Amino acid sequence: MSTSHCLAVIPDVHMRRKMLNFAIDLQEEGYDLVFLGDYVNKGTRGNDPKLLNEIFAFAKTHQSKLLIGNHDLAYLYPDRPDFKIEGYEEDNASAISDIYQEYKEDFCYVYRNDKYLFSHAGLSKKLLARIHRQYPNYSLDETINYLNKKQPPELFYRTERNGGTDHFDGPLWIRPEQFNGALMEEGITQVVGHSSQASIWLKHNLLMVDVQLPLIIEW
């Protein structure tokens, strides 16, 4: 490939085997992969531990980035009943949770590659401002490391009354299409899933890509 950077983004999986098949094909073509989370729930055949393990094993083998989404939280943190949301499946929940625990060290919540910033739902300016009040000298990369390593309450914050449409909501919940200009700028393009779209949605520095198809980024 003639470009210096090339990534393939796999949006919300939700137990769709075709998303894993896309990833396999793109990896064979030489693309690095970023999964945007939500591997479980809402599938037509329910949560399948075998398929989930295939996805995580494939990603780990090929050093793909595995981001966490809001639907993953209840299985990753089974001791947090507040993470159980609409779509949570009791069937196979224990087996699904065991797989998340096996790969726990391979997950992240926010990932940056050059001028692209990946998370399940997006980082808002107000959330970052809240963090920077405590750590005023943090750079963007230091803030990302803080979110991934320390996993502060801000990471999981969701305003219950609105289901993710508050500017303070965290990068697993926020619905950035609900408001204009709330996401951070700084020459960074954010790439997010979470909110299902009929086609890729681009506004300012935000790419919303939950269209059940991968996105190729080359620069």
- Topology adopted by domain 6-218: Purple Acid Phosphatase; chain A, domain 2 (3.60.21)
Contact between residue 190 and residue 205 where contact means Cβ atoms under 8 Å apart: yes
Can you say whether the dihedral through the CA atoms of 10, 156, 82, 150 is positive or negative?
A: positive
Q: What is the pLDDT of residues 195-209, one digit of tens each?
A: 888 899 887 788 999
pTM, rounded to two decimals: 0.93
pLDDT single digits (tens) 102-133: 999 999 999 999 999 999 999 888 888 889 99
pLDDT band at 163 (very low <50, low <70, confident <90, very high): low
38: left (phi over 0), alpha (psi -120 to 50) or beta: left
Task: Quote the tokens at residue 107.
Answer: 């997950």
For position 44, what pLDDT does the model report?
85
The pLDDT of residue 49 is above 80: yes
| Nearest residue to 55 via CA among 21, 78, 79 | 21
% of the chain residues with pLDDT over 70: 90
How do the domains of the chain map onto residue ranges?
6-218
Q: Which helix (H) or strand (E) holds 53?
A: helix 49-61
